[in-house]
Amino acid sequence: MTTYAVHTRTRASNAAAILLIGLVAVLVALPFFAGRSTIQDMFFILTMLVLAQFWNLLAGYGGLVSIGQQAFVGMGAYALFAAVILGGLDPVPSILLAGVAALIISIPTAFFAFRLQGAYFAIGTWVIAEVFRLFVAQWKTLGGGTGTSLPRSATKDMWFVDAITVLLDVKSSAARDILAYWLALALALVTIGGIYWLLRTRRGLALAAIRDNTEAAKSVGVDAGRMKWLVFLTSGFGTGLAGGLIYMQKARISPDAAFSVTDWTAYVIFIVVIGGIGTIEGPILGVLIFFALQSLLADFGSWYLMTLGGLAIVIMLIAPRGLWGLISERTGIHLFPIRRRLTGGKLDQLED
């Protein structure tokens, strides 16, 4: 009798899972022993990681290179501000509305952008993001082109803030940062977990097949068009959630900042490209490198961006799979394996 089995887990991924649980525990407990600036830095890292994971899902797995992610960040952020200022809602549940608003605008965006191929798709998403920015700048009740702030009354009585103030014995402004941090941590974990889950399902397999060869994937019955929609809408929703959360923490918004192509798309692309496109580990590594570079070079202004752009070019030319690609090629380590390996039966005898 020969029995076959399909595995995706590896020894490295088992070890990584245990390490990850430990890491998550430390991150959850971070506000108990870390200072406010650490919490703010971690908030930045986590939210950029979420944006990077969703861009990676689009470009790395879906083959949809978008330069218009700022549309979803900006729209999510503005939806949150509208819900709080015009609707009188609490900022925390409004984050969900931010995701929904971004999801809604991603439908017409996909409708138009999917008419364009490859590089033209990229610029098309950018044009559509510009259209949303220009429309939002006309929204006079939310400050038009100059923007607006969240009212103090709304940020002061935010959900959970009182509880955190009591629990950690901090001022309410620090409690707001801690709340934002915990929400960002939760969002990052759900994002990574969700994308990993998606990639390990049948849909994930279909996605990988489309990325590798669209025509071949279609020939075995994969609906490439539907997968593109699924990936685009998912990434729009997630990016909108992140946008809402980022601007809940900033508490001040303007169309130029919320729809900034540099902040919400260029940085994100550099994070993914430097870390390693088409892997879950890549954006994690990328965001850490990005943060380190920013801490080192932020005082140099434009030199910093030049370095980042130059680094991305060099990596794209000599190591198109990014730093994580280099590492996993050398060592064979996959922390989030999605490749299915067939073992057992005659295959084992062959190996002997």
> Which residues contribute to the site for other proteins (CB under 8 A)?
59, 63, 65, 67, 112, 115-116, 118-120, 122-124, 126-128, 130-131, 134-135, 137-138, 261-262, 266, 269-270, 273, 277, 301-303, 305-306, 308-310, 312-313, 316-317, 320
Query: Which residue, 62 or 244, has its beta carbon nearer to other proteins?
Result: 62
Q: CB 219 → other proteins: shortest distance, Å?
A: 18
| CA dist., res. 349 & res. 352, Å (int) | 5
Q: CB 71 → other proteins: shortest distance, Å?
A: 12
Cβ–Cβ under 8 Å, residues 302 and 312: no
- The full DSSP string for 292-316 is HHHHHHGGGTHHHHHHHHHHHHHHH
Q: How many helices (H) and strands (E) does the chain have?
A: 18, 4
Place of tokens 């996959």: 334
Q: CB 70 → other proteins: shortest distance, Å?
A: 12
Residue of 259, 270, 275, 8 whose CA lies nearest to 134: 259
Query: Which residue, 48 or 308, has its beta carbon nearer to other proteins?
Result: 308
Q: Residue 6's beta-bridge partner residues?
A: 342
Q: CB 310 → other proteins: shortest distance, Å?
A: 6
Specify the DSSP element, H or E, that contains 343.
strand 341-344
DSSP 140: G
| CA dist., res. 244 & res. 83, Å (int) | 11
Q: CB 166 → other proteins: shortest distance, Å?
A: 46
Q: CB 308 → other proteins: shortest distance, Å?
A: 7
Query: Which residue, 174 or 273, has its beta carbon nearer to other proteins?
Result: 273
Tokens linked to 201 = 């399902």
Alpha helices (runs of H) in 158-252, residue ranges in sequence order: 161-168, 172-200, 202-212, 214-219, 224-250
- First CA to last CA across the chain, in angstroms? 18
Q: CB 54 → other proteins: shortest distance, Å?
A: 17
| CA dist., res. 260 & res. 80, Å (int) | 17
Q: CB 346 → other proteins: shortest distance, Å?
A: 36
Buried/exposed 50-83: b ≥16 CB within 10 Å, e otherwise = bbbbbbbbbbbbbbbbbbbbbbbbbbbbbbbbbb
Query: Which residue, 141 or 331, has its beta carbon nearer to other proteins?
Result: 141
Cβ–Cβ under 8 Å, residues 335 and 15: no
